[in-house]
Copies of this chain bind each other. A is one copy, B any other.
Amino acid sequence: MAKTCNVALIGQGFMGRTHSNAYLNVAKFFTDLPMVPVMHTSYGLESENPKIFAERWGWKNAASDWKAVIRNEDIQFVDIVTPNDMHMPPAIEAMQAGKPVATEKPIAGTLADARAMAEMAKKSGVKTFVWYNYRRVPAVALAHQLVKAGKLGRIFHIRCQYLQEWGGPATPLLWRFQKKYAGSGAHGDLNAHIVDMARFVTGDEIVEVSGAIAETFIKERVIPTQGSTGGITAGAKGSAQMGKVDVDDAVIFLTRFKSGAIGSFEASRLATGYLNRNGFEIHGEKGALRFNFEDMNYLDYWDATADRKVQGWNRIMATSGENHPYVKYWWPDAHILGYEHGFVNEAADIMRVLAGEQPEVPLPDFQDAYETQRVLEAALLAAENRAAVKMSEVK
């Protein structure tokens, strides 16, 4: 009989929905979990009407005082999905209470926050997690396994892009275009994912950002008539009034890795034609890998050790229950998984780790996610300085 874990969800936006869906479904599919989540309490601002959210998703209790929630003795695990600038306070509170804690990505709104969180995690010894969900897309987890098994040999190139197109001039001044809410633009939102993914898949670490460009193409946007800070494709009709954008629309940067590999990272909200192109290409001495979230069920693999007569890009549909990570818990082979499955897979692995078992592939903790933040910071510094920045210079 599986143990249970009373979960508190702090926040209820888009990520509140994906995490709720994960807790709701995980035990229906992962029937062999050593621990299953109990959807104990969800927290939201009074103005967000926490009761409605809790009822919709099946949280037993709704609350609007997060400190009380975290301190509640029944709560055994705290999961934070508030805006980035509000990750640190509840995370610190939970660690001080000796409770395991997770946050959505990125770990925090500022590098200082991230560092404080990583330090407290070390000091407190509690288990921590950051929801870099793409690690648990089966094709990405498979990439990690193949690299680990030596299929690529020495790696030469790591090329990562997370490209979207919703940030055209017609898009109004949502919260995502304002530094005070979002911290940064495409950089923190998108580059965060691909820096984590590159580190995860290769197991390698960035030692230098060799050059960078940060650009805000659309410098002013229409202020939405209502206070709406809306969804990703908000079509809010604009008034005539314009407001200043103070975050980036796109950031590209070049890196050197510890292993000698070289890399590039690019995030944009104005890459017309790419709706959600979150992907990587990795070239090694013995092989290469290619992934793109727009075709998330596939991993392309080139085996450079194969007979050249039949060598080519091998398009693996990573949906075989017997061969690919996480799949056996879902549908028969080749029945196509979607976006939210990564979150359900992550909830399963968190439960395993909380129960003292191993996750299917590694989960990032606060220290790990802090490393990703340092890389993002170095990239902004390099863009500002118009010069290379060594990672050792960034604390």
Contact = CB atoms under 8 A, between A and B. Distances in A.
A211 B287 contact: no
Copies in the complex: 4
A122 to B, nearest CB: 33
A175 interface: no
A272 B285 contact: yes
Contacts of A233: 321-322, 332-333
Nearest to A293: B336
A313 B314 contact: yes
A165 interface: yes
A237 B293 CA distance: 36
Interface size of A as a range: 35 or more
Interface string A219-260: 000000000000111010000000000000110111010001
A331 B24 CA distance: 16
A289 to B, nearest CB: 9
A361 interface: no
Contacts of A387: 211, 385-388
A210 interface: yes
Contact of A288 (B146, B232, B272, B334): B272
A247 B300 CA distance: 31
Nearest to A20: B28
19 contacts: A21-B28, A24-B25, A156-B249, A157-B250, A157-B270, A159-B266, A165-B283, A211-B211, A211-B388, A212-B254, A215-B262, A235-B322, A253-B254, A271-B288, A272-B287, A312-B317, A315-B315, A336-B338, A337-B338
9 cross-chain pairs, A with B, having the tightest CB-CB distances, nearest first: A211-B211, A338-B338, A275-B334, A273-B302, A276-B334, A273-B288, A386-B388, A387-B387, A312-B316
